[in-house]
Amino acid sequence: MTLNKFKRHTNRNIIQSLKKEEILRVKSSRDGQIISCESGILWITQEGDWVDRLLTAGEKFRTRIPGFILVQALSDARIRISPQEKVELICPAPQSLQEELACA
């Protein structure tokens, strides 16, 4: 399985477009990081947090604990993360059923 991966180390905002079903893996070493949904619908789950969240355009989520965060686009979406340490696209939108099964 080939995954689209990228890593960035920066203290600036990161704006990323996501296709439906794409997943971002965000590593946050501090609380207070802001994840904003600029368009579309995002599903967010954070390591150590029992509550998952759905964000729609204009809504924001502020992390409360350090750790990994998974953000999945439930529709084509645009996300802003600030400040940011590391982002990795771990599963691109499948182009075929075979890719969808390989990514699951």
The model carries a pTM of: 0.70
CATH at residue 24: 2.60.120.10
User: What is the pLDDT at residue 101?
Assistant: 52
Does residue 91 sit within a domain? Answer: yes
User: What is the pLDDT at residue 40?
Assistant: 97
CB 86 within 8 A of CB 9: yes
Does residue 7 sit within a domain? Answer: no
- Give residue 21's domain range: 14-103
Burial of residue 50 (number of CB atoms within 10 Å: 0-12, 13-18, 19+): exposed
Does residue 8 sit within a domain? Answer: no
Does residue 57 sit within a domain? Answer: yes
Does residue 6 sit within a domain? Answer: no
- Give the tens place of pLDDT for each residue, 38-91: 999 999 999 888 899 999 999 999 888 888 889 999 999 999 988 754 555 556
Does residue 27 sit within a domain? Answer: yes
User: What is the pLDDT at residue 66?
Assistant: 84
Instruction: Say whether pLDDT at 97 is over 90.
Output: no
Domain count, the chain: 1
User: What is the pLDDT at residue 54?
Assistant: 96
H or E, element range at 99: helix 97-103
